[in-house]
């Protein structure tokens, strides 16, 4: 139970990678606030955690909504008494080559992948720093708290058709490195995990009916099968990653063994970096 007595918030944890992150943290003793855009998958994750003997609550809603960040942090404090781990995982892809990318499309990608984590971490700072200061005053040191922001190899190397998404994910790196410097005095580590090709509903082979609903928009998802085959052939391990493997990379940075690692980007891509 490496995360015993820790309180974690995981955004976008009703499905896919986020769900596996929440399940993994809970299996190691963390009490988890599960977030998803839709209430049903959020509660399904909570029920799975509770069925396994863990503790969790659901806080559904869009990470881009006004006031959401404060409400999410309040949910952690009100239900579990504090906040020790934040995983900014929520997001989706909305792809186009740049000449076809609208202002709305670009802004949506920046908002969900970069602005939302910024707001959540801004809201979390007073809670986490106050706890650290109290521990330092009482014991001379603070327990190590963890921030893990989710990025992508697209944010490191770029990817055709993802100017907006890649720009947002590149920004996550700058945000993480800056907060690593600001929050080190509170013994809070801030790192990024950049995923490669992970098998989720957003990266399955595209078909005419594959879409998601976000803020009243119907957005086509999936990847051209030829592109998938090409990408898989470039991965040294020879296959896309599984959501639970992606969750493992996040968990690594939440463990006590990673207490002296901060400001770093861990690529979870089977050896492929874009």
The residues assigned a catalytic role are 165
Residue 74: partners with Cβ closer than 8 Å, 6 or more residues away:
none
What is the distance between the alpha carbons of residues 60 and 77, in angstroms, rounded to a whole number? 16
Paired tokens of 203? 């990266």
Do 110 and 164 form a contact (C-beta atoms < 8 A)? yes
What is the distance between the alpha carbons of residues 211 and 15, in angstroms, rounded to a whole number? 15
What is the distance between the alpha carbons of residues 1 and 24, in angstroms, rounded to a whole number? 11
Helices within 140-224 (DSSP H only) = 153-157, 163-183
DSSP 3: T
Strands 265-268 and 217-220, by their bridges, are unpaired
Helices within 3-67 (DSSP H only) = 16-27, 39-51
For 165, list phi and psi in degrees, rounded to 5: -60, -45
Query: How many residues are present in the chain?
Result: 274
Do 170 and 105 form a contact (C-beta atoms < 8 A)? no
For the chain, strand residue ranges (E) read 7-10, 31-34, 55-58, 85-88, 145-152, 188-195, 211-214, 217-220, 265-268
DSSP 268: E
């Amino acid at each position: 139970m490496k995360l015993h007595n820790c309180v974690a918030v995981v955004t976008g944890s009703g499905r896919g990678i986020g769900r596996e992150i929440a399940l993994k943290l809970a299996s190691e003793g963390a009490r988890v606030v599960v977030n998803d855009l839709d209430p049903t998958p959020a509660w399904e994750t909570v029920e799975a955690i509770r069925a396994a003997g863990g503790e969790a609550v659901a806080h559904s809603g869009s990470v881009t909504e006004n006031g959401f960040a404060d409400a999410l942090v309040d949910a952690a404090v009100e239900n579990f008494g504090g906040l020790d781990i934040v995983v900014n995982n929520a997001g989706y892809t909305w792809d186009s080559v740049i000449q076809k990318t609208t202002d709305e499309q670009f802004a949506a990608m920046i908002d969900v992948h970069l602005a939302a984590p910024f707001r959540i971490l801004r809201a979390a700072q007073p809670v986490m720093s106050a706890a650290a200061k109290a521990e330092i005053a009482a014991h001379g040191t603070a327990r190590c708290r963890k921030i893990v922001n989710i990025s992508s190899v697209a944010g490191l190397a770029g990817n055709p058709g993802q100017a907006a998404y890649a720009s947002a994910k590149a920004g996550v790196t700058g945000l993480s490195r800056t907060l690593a410097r600001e929050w080190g005095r509170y013994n809070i580590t801030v790192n990024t995990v950049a995923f490669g090709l992970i098998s989720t509903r957003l990266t399955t082979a595209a078909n005419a009916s594959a879409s998601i609903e976000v803020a009243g928009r119907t957005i086509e998802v999936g990847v051209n099968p030829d592109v998938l085959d090409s990408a898989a052939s470039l991965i040294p391990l020879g296959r896309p990653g599984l959501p639970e493997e992606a969750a493992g990379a996040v968990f690594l940075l939440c463990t006590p063994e990673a207490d002296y690692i901060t400001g770093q980007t861990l690529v979870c891509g089977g050896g492929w970096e874009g």
